């Protein structure tokens, strides 16, 4: 996995149902074909960091991996999913083209070592509690543990008790860290919109999605990560921030064009 044109990591926050996963994947595959743009499908089989005990978590490891295999077989999209425990990494790596380390777990050394040594590219989320520079120590853990490809991902920084902000200077810092040709920088545009702790669930404000995504592209990223759902208002999680599936084509088309314009201009 190496850098080229801007690509997109898109898909639902959680695997709400098999029908939901397949509908979203088929829609995204159509966009990838129409726009001639690389799209990696993402979805989580276990939302292990939910606020409440009885909150929806997903189908679990075996069923989740079966759904990802079906997505790849029926759409030919690459697939990405996250993993929360070192003992699950090997099974995930047999299916996923990229393995994600969640933001809340980015300092867990055993998990970093397991993902780094699994033979798949690592998508490493920066914790909301961590500075971009301090992610360099996590990156070093991954590289020293055998990771051949690490994609450093900005997803916002805690701002008080119930909000996140994005410091675009952090993307420059992440670029300075990710120096190998097989490393890259990703901006997670939808998780950056979150407002945690809104009455027992995470809220957010979708109206800032375009502004933050454009700003990240202007600074310079290799990929945009955004959660996409056919009906966000009825999603099992992150209903306030997911991009509607029927808006995804416009999102990909406009940001691809904007990226091409930015790349054609020499930075100062």
Per-residue pLDDT at 266: 73
Residue 2 lies in a domain: no
Per-residue pLDDT at 53: 83
Residue 1 lies in a domain: no
CB atoms within 10 A of CB 256: 19
Q: What pTM, to 2 d.p., does this model score?
A: 0.95
Residue 245 structure tokens: 């599936």
Residues 25, 10: Cα–Cα separation, whole Å? 9
Domain count, the chain: 1
Residue 225 lies in a domain: yes
Q: Alpha-carbon dihedral of residues 230, 233, 238, 241, nearest 10 degrees?
A: 80
* Residues 186-232: tens digit of each pLDDT: 999 999 999 987 777 788 899 999 999 999 999 999 999 999 999 99
DSSP states of 172-209: HHHHHH--STT-EEEEETTGGGEE--SSSS-EE-GGGH
Residue 66 lies in a domain: yes
Residues 45, 65: Cα–Cα separation, whole Å? 8
Residue 256 lies in a domain: yes
Q: Cβ(145)–Cβ(111) under 8 Å?
A: no
Domain interval for residue 187? 7-263
Q: Cβ(186)–Cβ(222) under 8 Å?
A: yes
Residues 183, 185: Cα–Cα separation, whole Å? 7
Residue 268 lies in a domain: no
Which residues lie closer than 8 Å to 267 by C-beta, 6 or more apart?
A: 220
Q: What CATH code is carried by the domain that includes residue 252?
A: 3.20.20.70
Mean pLDDT of each 10-residue bin along the chain, 268 residues long: 82 97 99 98 89 83 98 99 98 98 97 98 98 98 98 97 96 96 98 85 90 97 98 92 98 98 83
Residue 33 lies in a domain: yes
Residue 62 lies in a domain: yes
């Amino acid at each position: 996995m190496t850098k080229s044109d801007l690509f997109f990591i898109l898909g639902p926050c959680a695997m709400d149902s098999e029908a939901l996963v397949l509908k979203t994947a088929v829609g995204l595959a159509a966009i990838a074909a129409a726009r001639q743009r690389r799209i990696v499908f993402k979805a989580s089989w276990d939302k292990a960091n939910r606020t409440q005990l009885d909150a929806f978590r997903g189908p679990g490891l075996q069923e989740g991996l079966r759904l990802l295999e079906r997505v790849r077989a029926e759409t030919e999209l690459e697939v990405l999913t996250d993993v929360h425990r070192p003992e699950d990494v090997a099974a995930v790596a047999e299916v996923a083209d990229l393995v994600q380390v969640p933001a809340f777990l980015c300092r867990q050394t055993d998990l970093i070592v397991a993902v780094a040594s699994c033979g798949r590219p690592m998508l490493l989320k920066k914790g909301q509690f961590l500075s971009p520079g301090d992610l360099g120590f996590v990156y070093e853990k991954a590289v020293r543990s055998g990771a051949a490809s690490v994609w450093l991902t900005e997803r916002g920084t805690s701002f008080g008790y119930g909000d996140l902000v994005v410091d675009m200077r952090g993307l420059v810092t992440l670029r300075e860290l990710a120096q190998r040709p097989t490393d890259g920088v990703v901006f997670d545009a939808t998780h950056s919109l979150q407002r945690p702790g809104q009455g027992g669930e995470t809220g957010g404000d979708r109206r800032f999605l375009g502004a933050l995504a454009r700003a990240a592209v202007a600074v310079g990223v290799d990929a945009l990560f955004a959660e996409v759902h056919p009906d966000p208002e009825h999603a099992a999680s992150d209903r306030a921030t997911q991009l509607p599936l029927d808006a995804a084509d416009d999102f990909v088309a406009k940001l691809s064009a904007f990226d091409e314009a930015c790349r054609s201009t020499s930075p100062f």
